[in-house]
Amino acid sequence: MKKRQSGILLHITSLPSRYGIGDFGDGAYWFADFLQKTGQSLWQILPLNPTLTVHGNSPYNSISAFAGNPLLISPDMLLQEGYIEEDDILEPPHFSDERVEYKEVSKYKMQLLKKAYHNVKGRLTEDSNFQVFVKNNAYWLNDYTLFVALKEYFNGRVWIEWPEDIRNREEEAVQRYRNLLQEPILMESFFQYLFYKQWKRLRNYCNEKGIRIMGDIPIYVHYDSVDVWSHPEIFQLNKEKRPLFVAGVPPDYFSSTGQLWGNPLYNWNYLKETGYRWWIDRIGHNLELFDLFRVDHFRGFVGYWQVRAGEKTAINGQWVKAPARDFFSKLLKHFGALPLIAEDLGVITPDVVEVIEHFGFPGMKILLFAFGDDNPAHPYLPHNYKENFIVYTGTHDNNTAVGWFRNEATPEARQRLIDYLGREVTEETVHWELIRLAMMSVARAVIIPMQDILGLDESARMNRPSTKRGNWQWRLKRDMVSDSIRERLLKMTTIYNRI
């Protein structure tokens, strides 16, 4: 964050593709070209970890903190690399190009991936690139592939409901199931190899174009994940390995009853005793994937909202301190530097601000939050910014700028925006007005959701916190991006020295 720059927030699933979901294929390279041609140097995405329909398809609620989502593998790239035949993808099902239909997409793409595996499985033992991948990633891949194979073997049951010997990872049981499930384990390893092979190629292309990829690390993992099954000691679990307390946040802007996420909380005492080994592995893994990354719910490293397991809402919780300074000091000592952005939204107390400023991590500013109060000193108003921030119109958790102006902003908030700009604002102009405010600010970086570049309404919203259905589905169509939008974005980026 040494120079002025700007970029766009668009998740991979939202990219155009004829296979029902965005992937690492042609649509991703088209978007990278769009970023370069409009002067953008940052592409922010959401987590790339596997998603499941049973978990609402949320990339923040995955079965693994390390694995990649096989649904993002490009069929076109599989064809180019000789893993499948042209007939295999000649006539895909008719998928919506506006919304991801996860159930149908998963069925189609997994059949295709299995076909690719069966076409080459006899050659995998001689494939040196595949063997190197498996060896280099064994520290997470071995447990992950076994976990996925076991989930299928036990008909999708939560790991705590598996037979006691494998639930507790008894050595004999682990070896027995590895032998029994050799085929699905090898297949899952192959899927991960394809994922990371295609991702590396796309990231290299972006870097060559002067575009840095900003990833996203969820602070927590899902209870029914390989991470909790293989490392129960780093979480707050009881003797039966069930959560004692779960994560969430107290009542806030998004919900009057708070947000009860339900993720198991970390056992920070144990993590500290082990030198934060699991977190060092996780951060190191992400440094290989991204040029920089946002840490979701950063304040949870300083103090976290603890709710007893079994509560129906997040209201009855309490703040508990975490060893933030020791943790980040150890990370910096190990890595030397951390290209980390702190997601510092929500209830931010002075101790959180002190940690962010102590380590010099960039924070976030959201323009949609700036006009709700009649307060010239509001921290989200551009004249109050400092340089070491990333300013957004909104994030994936917010309404679009147009949707906010139309449905959420009070008449008073709309008037405050008009007064702040000194000119009239309408539904047709609000997105560019907010983009201009972000671009002209002193903040070193600006990230705009693609929906706001296009001026889309609330129907294009990516996520509604505290809801479990209808999220993570919005898709971009190529014909939405007109020449006039390209020209306007490039001109604004140039005017405010973010080119």
Which pair of tokens denotes residue 400?
């679009």
Give the residue among 388, 202, 220, 393 at the shortest CA–CA distance from 307.
220
Give the residue among 438, 309, 431 at the shortest CA–CA distance from 385.
438
Tokens 């194979």 belong to which residue?
149
Q: Quick check: 260 and 313 in contact, CB under 8 A? A: yes
Choosing from 343, 433, 452, 457, which is the catalytic residue? 343
Q: How far apart are CA 98 and CA 486, in angstroms?
A: 21
Which pair of tokens denotes residue 231?
């490392």
224 is catalytic: no
Choosing from 397, 433, 452, 457, which is the catalytic residue? 397
Number of residues that make up the chain: 499
343 is catalytic: yes
Give the residue among 385, 342, 364, 366 at the shortest CA–CA distance from 452.
366
Tokens 């939050």 belong to which residue?
369
Choosing from 188, 227, 296, 344, which is the catalytic residue? 296
Question: What are the start-end ranges of the H helices in 341-464?
Answer: 350-359, 401-403, 411-421, 430-440, 450-454
208 is catalytic: no
Specify the amino acid at residue 207. Answer: N
Which pair of tokens denotes residue 31?
């978007």
Q: How far apart are CA 24 and CA 22, in angstroms?
A: 7
Q: Quick check: 50 and 67 in contact, CB under 8 A? A: yes
Residues acting as catalytic residues = 296, 343, 397
